[in-house]
């Protein structure tokens, strides 16, 4: 038996001015055949799961390219086609194969391609034929299209948000693919369109209990996999929104029933899943009054993980206005400011302009005298077992304060406290940690903080679907329509 594995992934915010090209992939993660490291990345964990499983069966594993770009704006058409065709060429050279296993994201949009993953899967199917197994792992912040369900035998998504389970789900994917190759199972899928879009953190109720129950339901012999596709509200594509995907072992009735019942239960959570998001002045006042330090303030909408620049100065400026003198901020994306600091060197005190460059809705650039406290070439942070590149980075301290700011040259949201410690900052010693992330930070930062505040500073992320200018997403969904299920009954799809 021969198995081919590859990965091509990014998350596209179609409203973002930060466009994605080949350099974006090369800066974040690009591993040609034979060069994928021993540690997984968010969307290439199937490589690790395949290495664990496939050779042990005596089967041959052929590795293709793995490529990931930090979430951003529309992918350059030639870049997508180049990387897609690179993988397809590798697959063609490997034929015949019994299975193709892919690490995807599910929210990639390129110029001319609203459904990059569907396009890739269809081309893979055309190469390998109707009997080979095609299996793919997705991020739940994706768009589950009918084309993907039609072309693949097995699709599943991470269950957790923050995505702490991407390696475990990759192992599930590979196990199911092996069973399908061996003729042990006949995957049968049902998809329920929940007709909503919402933020669904699984670290909080009601999603915590809901996900736990999905694991229990998967213990039924007939239930192979259940995935919640949260959707990605910053992607203006026709099939944007939350969906429930159930795959059973040749039991269409059970798949249909579970998809519909769980999907409507998920719809009932609308408006109840987000943690309280409060204005910057309230968040800062709460942090100043807290006795449970360090307090984490998460700037949820300037999150590079959602495809925006991550260079907003709104909350930092408000902190200064409110008299905060000791804090750590991570990160503000500003490659040019980093270059200036690297050139000046550690210990230098310079007048620096930083942040606020990518748009007019994220605050003005800041001008300050700063001390360059640490310069780190090719800095990184951790996300579970993954190593996330920050590029050349610096820690600066604002004059006459103990406020330390991490500036980075590769965009990345905050995942873990080593974002600070790797730049010489002790995060546990700071009263306030201001980070940019929606929820992926939660598990790692909760280990050092008993007080976490979610801050809504407005822009630049299109966080309110009611006011977002969708052009391609035209079907009725909540919260744009209060009860979209009363308007249509075509919410259940089967394969």
- Please tell me the pTM assigned to this model: 0.94
Q: Is the pLDDT of residue 304 over 90?
A: yes
Contact between 357 and 365 (Cβ < 8 Å):
yes
> How far apart, in whole angstroms, are the C-alpha atoms of residue 466 and residue 489?
22
Alpha-carbon separation of residue 384 from 140, 170, 374, 404, 485 (angstroms): 17, 14, 25, 25, 38
Q: Is the pLDDT of residue 6 over 80?
A: yes
User: What percent of the chain shows pLDDT beyond 90?
Assistant: 96
> How far apart, in whole angstroms, are the C-alpha atoms of residue 384 and residue 486?
42
Contact between 121 and 132 (Cβ < 8 Å):
no
Q: Which of 69, 177, 84, 157 is nearest to 124 (CA)?
A: 84
Q: Is the pLDDT of residue 9 over 70?
A: yes
Q: Is the pLDDT of residue 495 over 80?
A: no
Structure confidence at residue 360 (pLDDT):
85
Q: Could you report the per-residue pLDDT of 201-210, keeping only the tens digit for each?
A: 999 999 999 9
Q: Strand locations in 250-365, DSSP E?
A: 277-278, 295-299, 326-333, 349-354
Q: Using DSSP, state whether 149 is helix, strand or coil.
A: helix
Q: Is the pLDDT of residue 67 over 70?
A: yes
Q: Could you report the per-residue pLDDT of 220-232, keeping only the tens digit for each?
A: 999 999 999 999 9
């Amino acid at each position: 038996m021969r198995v081919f594995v590859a990965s091509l992934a990014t998350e596209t915010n179609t409203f973002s001015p930060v466009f994605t090209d080949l350099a974006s992939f090369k800066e974040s993660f690009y591993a040609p055949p034979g060069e994928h490291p021993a540690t997984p990345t968010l969307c290439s964990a199937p490589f690790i799961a395949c290495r664990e499983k496939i050779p042990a069966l005596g089967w041959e594993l052929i590795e293709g390219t793995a490529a990931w770009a930090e979430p951003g704006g529309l992918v350059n058409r030639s870049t997508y086609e180049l990387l897609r065709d690179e993988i397809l060429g590798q697959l063609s050279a490997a034929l015949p194969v019994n299975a193709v296993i892919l690490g995807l994201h599910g929210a990639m949009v390129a110029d001319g391609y609203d459904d990059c993953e569907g396009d890739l899967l269809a081309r893979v199917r055309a190469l390998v034929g109707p009997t080979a197994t095609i299996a793919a792992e997705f991020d739940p912040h994706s768009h589950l299209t009918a084309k993907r369900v039609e072309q693949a035998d097995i699709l599943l998504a991470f269950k957790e948000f923050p995505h702490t389970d991407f390696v475990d789900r990759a192992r599930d994917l590979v196990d199911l693919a092996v069973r399908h190759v061996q003729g042990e199972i006949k995957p049968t899928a049902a998809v329920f369109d929940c007709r909503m879009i919402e933020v669904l953190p699984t670290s909080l109720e009601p999603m915590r209990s809901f996900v736990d129950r999905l694991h229990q339901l998967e213990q039924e012999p007939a239930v192979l996999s259940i995935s919640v596709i949260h959707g990605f509200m910053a992607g203006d594509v026709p099939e944007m929104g939350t969906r429930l995907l159930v795959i059973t072992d040749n039991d269409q009735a059970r798949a249909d029933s579970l998809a519909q019942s769980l999907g409507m239960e998920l719809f009932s959570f609308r408006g109840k899943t987000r943690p309280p998001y409060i204005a910057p002045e309230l968040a800062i006042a709460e942090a100043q009054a807290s006795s449970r330090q360090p307090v984490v303030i998460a700037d949820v909408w300037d999150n590079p993980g959602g495809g925006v620049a991550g260079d907003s100065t709104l909350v930092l400026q408000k902190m200064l206005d409110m008299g905060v003198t000791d804090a750590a901020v991570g990160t503000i994306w500003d490659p040019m400011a980093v270059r200036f600091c690297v050139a000046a060197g550690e210990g230098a005190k310079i007048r620096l302009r930083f942040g606020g460059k990518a748009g007019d809705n994220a605050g003005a650039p800041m001008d300050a005298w700063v001390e360059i406290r640490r310069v780190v070439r090719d800095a990184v942070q951790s996300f579970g077992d993954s190593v996330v590149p920050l590029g050349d980075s610096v820690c600066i301290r604002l004059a006459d304060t103990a406020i330390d700011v991490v500036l980075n040259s590769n965009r990345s949201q905050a995942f873990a406290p080593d974002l600070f410690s790797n730049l010489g900052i002790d995060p546990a010693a700071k009263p306030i940690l201001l980070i940019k992330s929606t929820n992926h930070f939660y598990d790692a930062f909760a280990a050092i903080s008993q007080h976490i505040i979610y801050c809504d500073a407005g822009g630049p992320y299109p966080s309110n679907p009611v006011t977002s200018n969708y052009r391609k997403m035209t079907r009725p969904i909540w919260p744009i329509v209060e009860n979209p299920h009363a308007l249509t009954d075509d919410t259940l799809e089967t394969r």
